[in-house]
């Protein structure tokens, strides 16, 4: 690491570490300089596709014990992370594994308008139940 970068890091840490000895300061500075930083940008993970994959896996598991599944069932058990857009949940059932079979009226949490909402229900493709 460059010495000027190491000094900037040390300046940020000094108030918290309460370093009074110049010898200790220099020793710490040398240890910081010796850090071998990784080059390039920080890796970005596609959290959107990760969420969709987890949500689809949950929906398939849910369908083992329930006749159908809706988006409300999924987000109740796998909440949407703060950094993901709410409209992402629309893509959960846009996959060949799921087939729309009907609708369900759900009650939204307090403060939402409208109070009730109609959502689509799905089953696994090829497992249609006409109950």
Structural domain contains residue 97: yes
**3: Cβ–Cβ under 8 A, 6 or more apart, which residues?**
29, 33
For residue 105, what are the contacts with CB-CB under 8 A and spacing of at least 6? 116, 117, 118
**Does 131 reside within a domain?**
no
Structural domain tally of the chain?
2
Same domain, 7 and 56: no
Is there a domain that residue 8 lies in? yes
Residues 60 and 97: beta-carbon distance below 8 Å: yes
Task: Please provide the DSSP assignment of 40-78 as one string.
Answer: SPPP---HHHHHHHHHHHHHHHHTTTSS-EEHHHHHHHS
Residue 1 in this model has a pLDDT that exceeds 90: no
Tell me the whole-structure pTM to 2 decimals.
0.61
Q: Which two tokens stand for residue 69?
A: 């599944």
User: Looking at the structure, do residues 8 and 72 belong to the same domain, yes or no?
Assistant: no
Q: How many CA atoms lie within 13 A of 8 on its CB side?
A: 5
Average pLDDT, the chain: 88
* pLDDT attached to residue 127: 67
Residue 124, φ and ψ in degrees, nearest 5: -70, 140
Q: Read off the CATH number of the domain in which 85 is found.
A: 1.10.10.10
pLDDT tens digits along 44-80: 666 899 999 999 999 999 999 999 999 999 999 999 8
């Amino acid at each position: 690491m460059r010495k000027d970068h190491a000094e900037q890091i040390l300046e940020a840490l000094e108030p918290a570490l309460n370093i009074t000895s110049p010898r200790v300061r220099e020793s710490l500075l040398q240890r910081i300089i010796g850090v071998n930083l990784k080059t390039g940008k920080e890796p970005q993970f596609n959290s959107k596709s990760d969420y969709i994959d987890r949500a689809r896996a949950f929906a398939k598991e849910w369908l083992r014990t329930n006749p159908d599944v809706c988006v409300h069932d999924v987000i109740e058990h796998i909440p949407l992370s703060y950094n993901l857009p709410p409209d992402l949940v629309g893509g959960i059932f846009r996959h060949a594994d799921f087939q729309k079979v009907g609708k369900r009226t759900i009650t939204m949490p307090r403060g939402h308008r409208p109070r009730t909402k109609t959502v689509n229900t799905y089953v696994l493709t090829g497992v249609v139940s006409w109950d």
